[in-house]
Every structure is written in structure tokens, then in C-alpha cells.
């Protein structure tokens, strides 16, 4: 037994128990949501009411191990005590001011995040998509003012299989028809190349290219890890061709992969970090772009902003998150528990799984489509007390909170093994 085997949120009498059919109360919540909320999601039929650590409880009292963690927004688990305490303290003082004024929380947050990223400056926003949009704007303006690209000609290179958000500009450089169909026309100025193909990237760069926007690990794609050495090659290429290396670490960053940033696995420092999700501690939308003065210095008063970006509550929470990450504790948890998760999942290859991809406490598995779809696998896991999310047919993603225990990681693997065994029988 190691130091991560037991702890808060450990299993209980309900662990792995088959969840009964939704009660009348649950059905009423589902029907109300389906009646009045737009159908932009297809949730599993579970109605969550509370959470603690790596666990959530539905309106019927059934407990589930949360193995999605809000797409990594809940790296620190549900209701993390330290972050809750800090948020409550700030709520009792001041929650929102316009950036027309200074507040006493933004400066400390900006300094802490700058030190965590090793960058000179940060630009705070709210959602991850807003941070990506900000990075695109900054890259273009840098291209015009610093690189000298001809007006209105700036090009940003993106990669196949990308997921950077849902705004009209962002989905325009997606290759997922679900994201793009019926939403055009799209913003010009983007070129897409195969993910992980340094040769195609080199060939695509011309005098108009100002940035390469990429995910060090593609989460929505099913935890797709680039070829070894790709990040180092990309860093060298961007430097040589005078192009900004813009790393979208919204899901992969802030300890999820066992390092502070996924780029750290190849000791690479991008020109621009794009951050979000876990930066808000699972309590509040907080995102940011971090870069040095020679990049973020192109932003001047009035040229970019956000009503809520950098507000005192967001800054207080983000500051506390940066302080928690500075200890290295959560990075180490993700590394150790990730090894345990990957080891367990790899034993299922050939027993219903076709492939496993993992980095830190983050894994994507490809289920044999002859057995079931990813959605059907997630429904089976839900019945066994584990919540996860499918993507792209028969792929399922796992991203438990970093506060999970080793026993809970084993529970996840055992639940998946049970679902696969049942499908094979």
C-alpha cells in the first residue's frame, strides 16, 4: 500500500453497487431539463446533487466515482476545503469590480500565475474558449506589430483533431463536422495540418504565419499523445521560423499529466500558455493567457477586455490554485496514480480494449466496437457506480480528480473490466 491508497472519499458500502433505475424525482429533473434547456448536451441519465472529493451523489442517494472531473476543471476534487475557504473569505469582502478600477486580489494572482508559468505577464479571462480567442488576437497583433506581417494577412496554424472551444472562430478550424455543420461562414486566417507531423508544419509556414496553436495532449480527441520529440521539434521550428508557439494547456495543464504543464514532459517552454478549467478550482470560471512582455505587451488599454476577467473572486481562487500547484503535491499524485491507472487499463487490452493512451492521471481507451459504443460503455460504468465520458465512437476518457486514492483508481479499472466482461459473455 502506498501513501495514496487511502484518504478522503475512500470507497464505502455503495462502491461498485449497481445503480437502480432513476426514481420519480430524478425523472422529473431530467424531464424539466429536457423541456426547458437547449439540447446541446446528451447527459447520462443521472441527476447529481452533491459532491465530495472524487465522489458525487445523485438525488436518490446513489454515490458515484467521478472519473471525468469536469473535463479536468475538478482536478482538486469536489468542494476542496482550502479553495472553498478562500472563496468564502472573498465573497464576504468583494466579488466583482470593473477593470476600470484596481482591486487588491488581481495583482497577487497575476504574480503567482506568472511565477508558476515562468512568464512575465498574464491576461485573465473567464472561460477556456475566451482564453483561446485572446491568444489568437494577441498572436495576430504580435504578427503585425512585431513580426511585420502585411495587414490583415496573419495566419495561425492549427492541427487536425483539435478542440479549443465552441465559439464561431474556434469551431471554424475544427475538423469535427458536429462542431462545424451549419455554423459557417467561418473566420479566415487558419491553416490545419496533421497532428504531430513536424514536416507538414514546416511546409505550411510562410511569411504570413504568426503562431502555431496546439494541444500538447488532445483531450477531446481521446487523450491523444503526440509522437516522442514532437514538442521539442515544434519549439525549435517556431524559434527558427519566428512563429509563436501557443500551447493550449486548458485540459492538459495544471498537474493533470503528472507535470505542471504537459509541455514539461519534453522540457519545452512555449511562447504562450493558454490556461483554464482547473485554474478556477472547480468553483468558478477562471482562464488566462500567460506570456512574456514581448508578446503580451501588444495589448494596450481598450484593445481587449472582459467584464468579469480578473474580478476579485476569480483572482482570489486562481491565486490559491497557483499556490497549491507550487508545492508539487498534485503533480506527484497525478504521476503516481496515473502509473497505477495505466497499468490496470493495459491489462484489459485484448479483453475488450483495443488500445490505451495515457499521460499522468488521464487516459483514453478504445473499446472494441464489436462489443459496444463508448456511450454504451459509459452507461455500463454508471450502473457500476463510475461516471466517465465517451468521445468519437468507441473511445472513453478517464480523468479522475487528482485527490482520488489508489483504491479508487482500482475501482475504476475493476468497473471497466466488469463492463467489458459482461459485453463479451
**Active-site amino acid positions:** 163, 248, 277
Within this chain, do residues 147 and 279 fall inside the same structural domain, yes or no? yes
The reply to whether 96 falls in a domain is yes
Residues, the chain: 425
- DSSP β-bridge partners for residue 155: 209
CA–CA separation, 213 and 27 (whole Å): 42
Within this chain, do residues 316 and 344 fall inside the same structural domain, yes or no? no
- Among residues 279, 299, 325, which one ends one of the domains? 325
pLDDT per residue as tens, the chain (425 positions): 567 776 544 433 344 445 678 899 999 999 999 999 999 999 999 999 999 999 999 999 999 999 999 999 999 999 999 999 999 999 999 999 999 999 999 999 999 999 999 999 999 999 999 999 999 999 999 999 999 999 999 999 999 999 999 999 999 999 999 999 999 999 999 999 999 999 999 999 999 999 999 999 999 999 999 999 999 999 999 999 999 999 999 999 999 999 999 999 999 999 999 999 999 999 999 999 999 999 999 999 999 999 999 999 999 999 999 999 999 999 999 999 999 999 999 999 999 999 999 999 999 999 999 999 999 999 999 999 999 999 999 999 999 999 999 999 999 999 999 999 999 99
The burial class, CB within 10 Å (0-12 / 13-18 / 19+), for 273 is buried
The reply to whether 118 falls in a domain is yes
**Which among 95, 26, 129 is positioned nearest to 283, based on CA atoms?**
95
pLDDT one-digit tens code per residue, 124-173: 999 999 999 999 999 999 999 999 999 999 999 999 999 999 999 999 99
Residues 6+ apart with CB under 8 A from 308: 96, 126, 285, 314
Q: Which is it for strands 209-214 and 244-248: parallel, antiparallel or unpaired?
A: parallel
Within this chain, do residues 155 and 67 fall inside the same structural domain, yes or no? no
Within this chain, do residues 33 and 172 fall inside the same structural domain, yes or no? no
pTM for this predicted structure:
0.96
- Among residues 325, 357, 379, which one ends one of the domains? 325
pLDDT at 205: 98
The reply to whether 19 falls in a domain is no
CA distances from 247 to 24, 137, 214, 229, 255 (A): 46, 15, 5, 15, 15
Residue 189 in grid coordinates? 486566417
pLDDT at 22: 87
pLDDT at 18: 58
The reply to whether 388 falls in a domain is yes
The reply to whether 9 falls in a domain is no
Residue 417 backbone dihedrals phi, psi, to 5 degrees? -60, -40
- DSSP β-bridge partners for residue 349: 353
Within this chain, do residues 144 and 49 fall inside the same structural domain, yes or no? no
Within this chain, do residues 269 and 360 fall inside the same structural domain, yes or no? no
pLDDT one-digit tens code per residue, 171-222: 999 999 999 999 999 999 999 999 999 999 999 999 999 999 999 999 999 9
Residue 347 in grid coordinates? 491489462
Instruction: Compute how many other C-beta atoms are within 10 angstroms of the C-beta atom of residue 312.
Output: 19
Q: Which domain holds residue 247?
A: 81-325
pLDDT at 16: 43
Number of domains in the chain: 2
pLDDT at 4: 77
CA distances from 224 to 42, 195, 218, 355, 380 (A): 23, 9, 5, 11, 24
pLDDT at 21: 81
Helices 406-424, 374-383: inter-axial angle, 10-degree rounding: 120
Q: Which CATH number is 181's domain given?
A: 3.40.640.10
Within this chain, do residues 132 and 226 fall inside the same structural domain, yes or no? yes
Within this chain, do residues 315 and 345 fall inside the same structural domain, yes or no? no
Upstream peptide bond of 185 is cis (omega within 30 degrees of 0): yes
- Among residues 325, 350, 379, which one ends one of the domains? 325
pLDDT one-digit tens code per residue, 284-306: 999 999 999 999 999 999 999 99
Q: Which CATH number is 373's domain given?
A: 3.90.1150.10
Within this chain, do residues 306 and 390 fall inside the same structural domain, yes or no? no
The reply to whether 1 falls in a domain is no
The reply to whether 55 falls in a domain is yes
Within this chain, do residues 276 and 140 fall inside the same structural domain, yes or no? yes
The reply to whether 191 falls in a domain is yes
pLDDT at 19: 62
CA–CA separation, 209 and 410 (whole Å): 46
Within this chain, do residues 196 and 312 fall inside the same structural domain, yes or no? yes
Within this chain, do residues 143 and 39 fall inside the same structural domain, yes or no? no
CA–CA separation, 305 and 299 (whole Å): 10
Amino acid at each position: 500500500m502506498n501513501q495514496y491508497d487511502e484518504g478522503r472519499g475512500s470507497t464505502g458500502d455503495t462502491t461498485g453497487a449497481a445503480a437502480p433505475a432513476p426514481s420519480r424525482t430524478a425523472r422529473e429533473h431530467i424531464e424539466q431539463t429536457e423541456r426547458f434547456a437547449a439540447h446541446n448536451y446528451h447527459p447520462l441519465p443521472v441527476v447529481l446533487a452533491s459532491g465530495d472529493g472524487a465522489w458525487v451523489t445523485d438525488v436518490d442517494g446513489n454515490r458515484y466515482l467521478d472519473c471525468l472531473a469536469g473535463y479536468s476543471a475538478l482536478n482538486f476534487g469536489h468542494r476542496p476545503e482550502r479553495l472553498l475557504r478562500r472563496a468564502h473569505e472573498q465573497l464576504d469582502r468583494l466579488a466583482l469590480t470593473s477593470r476600470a478600477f484596481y482591486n487588491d486580489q488581481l495583482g497577487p494572482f497575476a504574480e503567482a500565475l506568472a511565477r508558476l508559468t515562468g512568464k512575465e505577464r498574464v491576461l485573465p479571462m473567464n472561460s477556456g474558449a475566451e482564453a483561446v480567442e485572446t491568444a489568437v488576437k494577441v498572436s495576430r497583433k504580435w504578427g503585425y506589430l512585431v513580426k511585420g506581417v502585411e495587414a490583415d494577412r496573419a495566419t495561425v496554424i492549427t492541427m487536425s483533431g483539435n478542440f479549443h472551444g465552441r465559439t464561431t472562430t474556434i469551431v471554424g478550424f475544427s475538423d469535427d463536422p458536429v462542431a462545424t455543420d451549419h455554423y459557417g461562414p467561418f473566420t479566415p486566417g487558419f491553416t490545419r495540418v496533421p497532428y504531430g507531423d513536424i514536416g507538414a508544419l514546416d511546409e505550411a509556414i510562410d511569411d504570413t504565419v504568426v503562431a502555431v496553436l496546439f494541444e500538447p495532449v488532445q483531450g477531446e480527441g481521446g487523450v491523444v499523445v503526440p509522437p516522442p520529440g514532437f514538442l521539442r521539434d515544434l519549439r525549435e521550428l517556431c524559434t527558427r521560423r519566428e512563429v509563436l508557439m501557443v500551447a493550449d494547456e486548458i485540459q492538459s495543464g495544471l498537474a493533470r499529466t503528472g507535470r505542471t504543464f504537459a509541455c514539461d514532459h519534453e522540457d519545452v517552454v512555449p511562447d504562450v500558455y493558454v490556461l483554464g478549467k482547473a485554474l478556477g478550482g472547480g468553483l468558478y470560471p477562471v482562464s488566462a493567457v500567460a506570456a512574456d512582455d514581448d508578446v503580451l505587451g501588444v495589448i494596450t488599454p481598450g484593445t481587449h477586455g472582459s467584464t468579469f476577467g480578473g474580478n476579485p473572486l476569480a483572482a482570489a481562487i486562481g491565486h490559491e490554485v497557483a499556490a497549491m500547484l507550487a508545492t508539487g503535491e498534485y503533480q506527484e499524485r497525478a504521476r503516481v496514480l496515473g502509473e497505477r491507472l495505466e497499468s490496470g487499463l493495459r491489462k484489459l487490452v485484448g479483453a475488450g480494449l483495443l488500445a490505451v493512451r495515457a499521460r499522468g492521471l488521464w487516459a483514453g481507451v478504445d473499446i472494441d466496437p464489436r462489443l459496444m459504443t463508448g456511450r454504451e460503455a459509459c452507461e455500463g460504468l454508471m450502473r457500476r457506480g463510475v461516471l466517465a465520458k465517451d468521445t468519437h465512437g468507441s473511445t472513453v476518457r478517464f480523468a479522475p480528480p487528482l485527490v482520488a486514492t489508489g483504491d479508487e483508481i482500482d475501482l475504476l479499472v475493476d468497473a471497466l473490466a466488469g463492463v467489458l466482461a459482461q459485453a463479451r459473455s
